[in-house]
Amino acid sequence: MDIIPISVPLDLPASLSLLKFVLVITFLLHILFINFMIGGTFWAVFFRMLRKEDPFYDRLAKDMISTVTVNKSIAVVVGVAPLLTISLAYIHFFYSANNITAPLWLSVIWLVALAFLALYVYKYTWDSQKYSINFKYFWGLLAFAIFLFVPFIFLTNINTMLYPDQWKNVYNFWDTIWVPNVIPRYLHFMNASFAVTGFFAYGYFHFRGKNKPEDANYYNRAKRLGLKWAFVATVLQMIFGVLNYVTLPMNSDSNLVLILIIIAVIFAGIATYFVSLNLFADKQINPYFIFTSIFVTLILMATLRHFVRENALKEPMKIVANKTEQYQANLASFMKTYSPTGEVTITGESVFEEVCMACHAIDRAIVGPPMTYAIEKYRGNPEAMKEFVSDPQKIDPEYPVMPPPPISQKEVDLVVDYLLSLEVGQNEN
């Protein structure tokens, strides 16, 4: 844990509690739109490949690509807030992890730009006859591949910050992949993207087709496909969730974490039950019941992730506080003798604190008598006190003889002048 840095002595723009609250809420919104973007891109590319088998898939894919270009823009804008707040609330660990994964972490900028470009090429050449279908698939698959890889970079970086004990053993991004919980967390996230996209597709086509009875077959089929994806992915999430949980850092677990997991599973089960009634019992359950259940589940999962992070960094934060306190003490000691010209400035106070305080205090006896005794005795006669300090003699039988202090005559003069300048030890009139 020696590699853990000290704290930055700067005021935060808001209270730490508020920053963490903003982090949880905005990160939840950001991840939601990232899920829509990843899953929507998959639908827009891979379902289009089924167009010859059934024209329904070509229309479905085209409808989904229109949502992706909107969702990805919202995801980027909303993502600014959690990125800033996590860099403020957990600066010591977030930027330390960034330093380890720096080349790949910085590559997120140009990778996202390339993915957006590919996405627009895919969208705006959709109906063009000038380009082959393979050309179009290339750009769609490129966007999807980047959307798969960028969250992996981000999750690897975020996971690394929870393992400061591993920092000495990892030297780059590829090393951090094997830090515990990276792969399970990524699988959990990707499966969640497909689950959330299923719920999104169900809601999107439900509301779009509400006032279009002439096109009911298309919208009903699209809604049903969304529910199928939501159902299967939510069931699989139970498996990926357990795998993710058992690979968390041991110090990140707590009773609260376990309770939140249980409650989240209950609400996920409720959502799955409602979906199953639509799919298998042919009962039209109010969509708001489904959306409410899954949204509560997402809130619980975001809160759960926050407490996992808090638990994992609890002890490292104590180390940060202790190292910062020691650093501030050393800095204060250094500043007492610091000179902009490079010369060491020595003061009587600094000499007393560094040399004399081992045996003397101002107002109480330690090894030697209190300094109030010497100040009162030698006030008005500094030369006698300097002579005694330079060549101590046995005077008071209650105290041991003072050894010659390891200081120069200049330092003797400074410490005596400092002590005799103190307004202590004077007799009251």
pLDDT at 338 over 80: no
Q: Indicate if the pLDDT at residue 427 is higher than 50.
A: no
Global confidence as pTM: 0.76
Q: Does residue 369 fall inside a structural domain?
A: yes
Positive or negative, the CA dihedral 361, 364, 367, 368 is: positive
Contacts of 307 (CB under 8 A, 6+ apart): 254, 256, 257, 260
291 closest CA partner among 282, 304, 278: 278
Whether residue 20 contacts residue 306, with contact meaning beta carbons closer than 8 Å, is answered with yes
Per-residue pLDDT, averaged over 203-229, amounts to 91
Co-location of 134 and 107 in the same domain: yes
Model confidence at 429: pLDDT above 50 = no
Other Cβ atoms less than 10 A from the Cβ of 78: the count is 18
Q: Are residues 167 and 202 in the same domain?
A: no
Model confidence pLDDT, tens digit, residues 217-269 = 999 999 999 999 999 999 999 899 899 888 887 888 889 999 999 999 999 99
Domain boundary among 159, 179, 199: 179
**pLDDT at residue 65, as a whole number:** 94
Q: What is the per-residue pLDDT for 344?
A: 63
Residues 112, 206: one domain?
Answer: no
Whole-number Å distance between alpha carbons of 395 and 347: 28
Instruction: Give yes or no: residues 33 and 160 share one domain.
Output: yes
- At 5-57, the pLDDT tens digits run 888 777 888 899 999 999 999 999 999 999 999 999 999 999 999 887 888 99
Residue 218 contacts residue 207 (beta carbons within 8 Å): no
Size of the chain, expressed as the number of residues it contains: 429
Q: Which domain holds residue 296?
A: 191-312
Six token digits for residue 311: 């638990």
* Nearest Cα to Cα of residue 61 among 44, 46, 49: 44
252/360 same-domain check:
no
Measured on CA atoms in the order 164, 169, 170, 174, is the torsion positive or negative?
A: negative
Q: Which of 312, 330, 359 is the last residue of a domain?
A: 312
